[in-house]
Chains A and B, each alone.
Chain A
């Protein structure tokens, strides 16, 4: 499969999820990903993006969230960058138990899904930015 990078700039508005979904469809089609794989990486970014839009900013002003998708050697890397309040989703405890999941605080269920679906999640605070990198190895047929 060829090397491919896609950059997406999203406003901090939930309505942007539709455009995000279209970008994932196009990215997946471009490198021949399975429907399931496209769904999973879209879901992971959706959950992070939704958390950022809902809880990431102390004001109601317009902010931008940058998403960069890369594919190389059977590995998909996704970088999600925002300038909101510091938040490390990788460090947040998520629960295995369903009755605790539903009571989880901010984005508990969503982050649980992200951690289960992706192979790795790395957070760094870079200056005034949150930078999250997600890794997914494409399953071999």
Chain B
């Protein structure tokens, strides 16, 4: 998996490419933890090029949401494939995590 990080004003955007499973999730976790420790408070995760996610990936998103809540930060998700979004819904994560269709919407709402 490839993670591309960009910055727009005070928002960090993480664009995920490839597959997020228990093999690749430690790299994402490391990157997100590092960002929060270094002052990131507003985060957008762009799923447009993410082809695959398992519960290992969901756990990282959940953990990051909790970490940001503790530091009064925000996280929003966007541009998911329908079948990826369905996994968030089955897990019940859509009830507490905002998921938007486009990056622009996500940037406006974070």
List residues of A whose CB falls within 8 A of some B CB: 14-15, 17-18, 21, 35-36, 39-40, 42-43, 46-47, 50, 54, 96-98, 101-102, 107, 109-110, 112-113, 116-117
Residues of A within 8 A of B62 (CB): 102
Q: Is the CB of A50 within 8 A of B87?
A: no
B74-97, CB under 8 A of A: which get 1 and which 0? 000000011110010011110110
B39-60, CB under 8 A of A: which get 1 and which 0? 0000000000001101110110
**Nearest CB of chain A from residue B57's CB, rounded to whole Å:** 10
Q: Is the CB of B22 within 8 A of A116?
A: no
**Nearest CB of chain A from residue B97's CB, rounded to whole Å:** 10
Residues of A within 8 A of B96 (CB): 98
Q: Contacts A43-B87, A116-B90 given: A110-B95 contact, CB under 8 Å?
A: no
Residues of B within 8 A of A117 (CB): 90
CB under 8 Å from chain A, chain B span 1-59: 19, 21-23, 51-52, 54-56, 58-59
Q: Is the CB of A113 within 8 A of B52?
A: no
Complex Cα distance A112/B93, Å?
13
Q: Is the CB of A112 within 8 A of B90?
A: yes
Q: Is the CB of A110 within 8 A of B83?
A: no
Q: Is the CB of B93 within 8 A of A98?
A: yes
List residues of B whose CB falls within 8 A of some A CB: 19, 21-23, 51-52, 54-56, 58-59, 62, 81-84, 87, 90-93, 95-96
Complex Cα distance A50/B83, Å?
21
Complex Cα distance A20/B22, Å?
13
Q: Is the CB of B54 within 8 A of A43?
A: yes
Q: Is the CB of B91 within 8 A of A112?
A: yes
Residues of B within 8 A of A43 (CB): 52, 54, 87
Residues of B within 8 A of A47 (CB): 54-55
Q: Which residue of B lies closest to A34 (CB)?
A: B83
Residues of A within 8 A of B55 (CB): 47, 107, 109-110, 113
Residues of A within 8 A of B95 (CB): 98
Q: Is the CB of B59 within 8 A of A14?
A: no
**Nearest CB of chain B from residue A128's CB, rounded to whole Å:** 26
Q: Contacts A43-B87, A109-B59 given: A18-B52 contact, CB under 8 Å?
A: no
